[in-house]
């Protein structure tokens, strides 16, 4: 396993896997398999993959710690950028299909509807992380400042669950919300417990 993780082509293979959902969307568009409401299917589908990749990227560190496999860390950037990519597609689908790229109406809708505002704020934070997901940004900002900025992923996780909850509450369908909230909540609690162990009082 470790030899595969450090293989020169491992990142390329992961990138291909990250593209698979996008290619499936393209295939379904071309074959007219998006159902009776293609616009809604694309908006919901890209949103679902955004939160799925968010779960995956937050799972990398616990998996690295549990398996003592440092090489897993080298895949976080690709998965993290995939979160941003699918969230951007989600925003574009909403802007295009729901709002016809009427920017004044989009701004008013963001301000008026809390669940869209929460989702938009999460996307802005993702933009900041995506723009600094490179070695040049780390060098320019300094490691500590860069690490502090990228802790926004925890805020994004909370905002993503809130956005998903409000969206599903209109149809009183909370099954998926519970699943994602449990996964993301567990991953955040694991990080909190790990951080608390590093405090002096925890070792006393």
Determine how many CB atoms are found less than 10 A away from the CB of residue 6: 10
Domain count, the chain: 1
State pTM to two decimals: 0.92
Residue ranges making up the domain that contains 123: 38-59+76-203
In a domain, 11, yes or no: no
In a domain, 30, yes or no: no
Distances (CA, A) of 99 to 45, 90, 102, 105: 18, 13, 6, 7
In a domain, 131, yes or no: yes
In a domain, 160, yes or no: yes
Band of pLDDT at residue 148, cut at 50, 70 and 90? very high
Band of pLDDT at residue 203, cut at 50, 70 and 90? low
pLDDT tens for residues 13-71? 999 999 999 999 999 999 999 999 999 999 999 999 999 999 999 999 999 999 999 88
In a domain, 84, yes or no: yes
Could you tell me what percent of the chain has a pLDDT over 70? 96
- Give CA–CA dist 40/151, Å, rounded: 32
Question: For 70, phi and psi rounded to 5 degrees?
Answer: -60, -30
In a domain, 93, yes or no: yes
In a domain, 65, yes or no: no
| Residue count of the chain | 204
Band of pLDDT at residue 201, cut at 50, 70 and 90? low
- Outline where 76-151 has alpha helix (H): 76-93, 103-112, 114-131, 135-141, 143-150
In a domain, 71, yes or no: no
- What residues have CB less than 8 Å from 75, skipping those under 6 apart? 5, 10, 11, 14, 60
């Amino acid at each position: 396993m470790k030899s595969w993780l450090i293989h020169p082509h491992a990142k390329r293979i992961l990138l291909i896997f990250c593209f698979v959902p996008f290619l499936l969307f393209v295939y379904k568009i071309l074959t007219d398999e998006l159902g009776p409401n293609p616009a809604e299917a694309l908006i919901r589908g890209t949103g679902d993959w955004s939160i799925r990749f968010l779960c995956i990227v937050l799972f990398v560190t616990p998996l690295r710690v549990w398996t003592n496999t440092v090489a897993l860390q080298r895949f976080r950037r690709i998965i993290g950028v995939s979160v941003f990519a699918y969230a951007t597609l989600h925003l574009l689908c909403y802007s295009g299909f729901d709002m016809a790229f009427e920017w004044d109406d989009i701004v008013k809708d963001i301000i008026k509807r809390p669940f869209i505002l929460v989702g938009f704020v999460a996307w802005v934070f993702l933009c900041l992380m995506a723009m600094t997901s490179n070695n040049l940004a780390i060098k320019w900002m300094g490691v500590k400042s860069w690490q502090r900025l990228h802790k926004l992923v925890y805020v994004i996780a909370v905002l993503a669950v809130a956005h998903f909850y409000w969206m599903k509450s209109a149809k009183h369908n909370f099954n998926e919300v519970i699943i994602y909230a449990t996964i993301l909540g567990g991953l955040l609690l694991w990080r909190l417990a790990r951080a608390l162990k590093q405090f002096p009082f925890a070792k006393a």
